[in-house]
Amino acid sequence: MKKFFCFLMILGLAAGLAGCGSAVSSSSGAQPGTSDQQAYLYYLNKDEDRLSWAEYHFNEPDTEGRVIEMIALQSQEPKSKEDVLLLPDGVKIQDYKLSDQALTLDLSAGFLDQAQTRKILCIGGLVRSFVQIDGVDKILFTVDGKDLTDSSGNAVGALTNDSFVDNAGKNINAYQEIEMTLYFTDQTGSKLIPETREVYYSSNEPVEKAVVEELIQGPSEEGHYPVFSTDTQVLSVISQAGICYVNFDDSVQNTILSISEEIPIYAIVNSLADTCNIKKVQFSIDGESDTVFRNSMDLSVQYTRNNDLIAS
């Protein structure tokens, strides 16, 4: 009964929000940040190939009130004629569930009739819209009560901002979906453990760079441990003829993680080999390969996949 009344509230909000909350400027530049009341409404541009946004200020003070408010806003036409609603005509958020900071949004069946690129952009925009709400950390999607699945038929699962890899802070643009096999380490710091995850990455950047950036973000499974500090900076990742060239800045040398020196190197090599079919990896720091990583790993040589380090 409570949910029924909540959706009556949504209907009321949909009719009245145009004159209540304020949607200010529209943009397609660097991704915005938010304050307590301030948020951003996400839209598609007219060509429906990238996201844009407009500044917005919440009316509701609490988490569930803001969830309902944001749902209602998904049916409100944008103020800018250059913007298009995330959800196509005839598609709506028909139910929701909020539990332990995880928000499940149930979409109507027409959502699946979109082109794949538009679906990914739509999902990306919805995730970014709702995780702005304090008390919502991740979003799950269902379609008519059934789990949303990827192109392989697997449940997409919970998504956060980190599920969408951006190119140097630029907006989501022509995202593609890929299953990555990433190698992290075990509790001893001496063995590699594979972890598989679905990631949406921008076609503006090489998928190899997305793999390295995902490794830096760290593991998501219990019992898996990071191989890089999260402040490690990647300057460039370029691949050619089966060889991938990974260039870090000197922050990569500052790791204080208690792991074997070869683990970070082979975490990248094995991840690139399994996900991108890379045969060899050449590392450099600030463009220089005539150096060593963590006192012992010679970066002047090219590294190949290492099966011996994988935990059995």
pLDDT of residue 27: 57
Rounded to whole angstroms, the Cα distance separating 6 from 94 reads 11
Is residue 222 pLDDT above 60, yes or no? yes
Is residue 199 pLDDT above 60, yes or no? yes
pLDDT of residue 74: 96
Higher pLDDT, 27 or 102: 102
pLDDT of residue 283: 93
pLDDT tens-digit map of 225-267: 999 998 899 988 888 778 898 999 998 987 667 899 999 999 9
3 state DSSP class of 258: coil
Is residue 5 pLDDT above 70, yes or no? no
3 state DSSP class of 283: strand
Q: Which segment of 125-129, 200-204, 236-240 scores lowest on mean pLDDT?
A: 200-204
Overall average pLDDT of the 24-35 stretch: 52
Is residue 209 pLDDT above 50, yes or no? yes
Distant-in-sequence contacts of 53-57, Cβ < 8 A, 24+ apart: 53/26, 53/27, 53/28, 54/23, 54/24, 54/25, 54/26, 54/27, 54/78, 54/79, 54/80, 54/83, 55/22, 55/23, 55/24, 55/25, 56/21, 56/22, 56/23, 56/24, 57/21, 57/22
Higher pLDDT, 7 or 114: 114
Does pTM surpass 0.75? no
Overall average pLDDT of the 134-158 stretch: 86
Confidence of residue 66 (pLDDT cuts 50, 70, 90): very high
For residues 203 and 176, the answer to whether their CB atoms sit within 8 Å is: yes
Is residue 7 pLDDT above 50, yes or no? no
pLDDT of residue 11: 43
pLDDT of residue 288: 85
Alpha helices in 198-311 (DSSP H): 207-217, 262-276
Is residue 9 pLDDT above 50, yes or no? no
Percent of the chain with pLDDT over 90: 55
Instruction: State the chain's mean pLDDT as an integer.
Output: 83
Confidence of residue 159 (pLDDT cuts 50, 70, 90): confident
Domain ranges of the chain: 2-163, 174-298
Rounded to whole angstroms, the Cα distance separating 10 from 73 reads 9
pLDDT of residue 266: 98
pLDDT of residue 257: 76
pLDDT of residue 175: 64
Overall average pLDDT of the 265-283 stretch: 95
Is residue 13 pLDDT above 60, yes or no? no
pLDDT of residue 176: 73
Confidence of residue 161 (pLDDT cuts 50, 70, 90): confident
Is residue 103 pLDDT above 90, yes or no? yes
